[in-house]
Amino acid sequence: MNHFLAIADLSTVEFNQVLTTAKKLKTAWRKGGNKPILKNKTLGMVFQKPSLRTRVSFDMAMLHLGGQALYLSPNEIGLGQRESVADVARVLSRYVDGIMARVFAHAHVTELAQYSRVPVINGLSDQEHPCQAMADALTIVERFGKLKGLRVVFLGDGNNVARSLMFACALGGANFVCASPAGYALDEASVAKARALAQSSGGSVELSEDPQAAARDADALYTDVWASMGQEAQAAARARIFPPYQINAALVARAKPTAIVLHCLPAHRGAEITDEVMDGPHSVVFEQAENRLHAQKAIVAILMGDRKPKVKRKT
């Protein structure tokens, strides 16, 4: 990998490499710590959106591996406003060894990668949330020992989190179901691409408008907020449409007795998920949140460890 922008960009080998590396680094960390393989390396972190998990997990990932992270707020960068995205990439990549960007428009992170001399990581965009999906996959594999053959059900908006999870399941051979209200399903192009990947892995991709049917015999139930950052104006309308897709005790009862419940956080308790479920025996929400650290540690280790600077063709 030269960059980490979208799960859909990964090969099966690359996807499994991130998972395997994450498991090894997590095991080593719990046994006493990681080797300083990123000593003297710096990750520049560009934020257009605020974050708890993304900022702290990347910061600590670099610290655990012997490097450091540099936080750059929206006021300091102003991607595409104070100066062009291309110029930000040209300048920043001469100062740091890697760039993580948490942005609104996916085009911004792809343009950063196009003009950067160092690896670029998508910390979130409107199109994908690939770091979250790697943490999700790691969490599922830790519980079941595999992705292949599992029924993984996402309930709610067909958003960036759902999209990245779908591609992760397609690469891993899982049977992915996304249950959304009419008009809020995942886009056809992404579904077609995921189905093509699933054909090779033995998995499947299904869309549904019936949350009850989707949850039946599920191994994993997953949800996210009904209105993401930037969709605040739609929140009231979505709050009237999405309640049937809430993960509650009755819905969990339709899944397998061994099923796990996931949420990428932050959660609106009482909306897309109930307290009873989020704090209950099926929940792995906080293990999942911890795994952002370990999955991202693997990503920076692979991209930034013992790499020569890229020679930039465009100037």
- Residues labelled catalytic: 102, 129, 132, 224, 264, 292
Beta strands at 204-208 and 220-223: parallel, antiparallel or unpaired: unpaired
Q: How far apart are CA 201 and CA 191, in angstroms?
A: 15
Given a contact cutoff of 8 angstroms between Cβ atoms, the answer to whether 261 and 277 are in contact is yes
From 181, 160, 152, 175, select the one nearest 245 (Cα to Cα): 181
In the block, residue with structure tokens 């549904």: 208
The CA-CA-CA angle for residues 32, 24, 124, to 5°, reads 105
Sign of the CA dihedral running 185, 186, 192, 197: negative
The dihedrals phi and psi of 13, each to the nearest 5 degrees, come to -60, -45
Cα dihedral angle (253, 266, 5, 39), rounded to 10 degrees? Answer: -120
Q: Residue 74: CA atoms inside 13 Å, Cβ hemisphere, count? A: 7
Q: Could you give the dihedral angle defined by the CA atoms of residues 166, 171, 172 and 178, in that order, rounded to the nearest 10 degrees?
A: 20
Three-state secondary-structure class, residue 79: strand
- Euclidean distance between the first and the last CA atom of the chain, given in angstroms as a whole number: 22
Query: How far, in Å, CA of 16 to CA of 302, rounded?
Result: 12
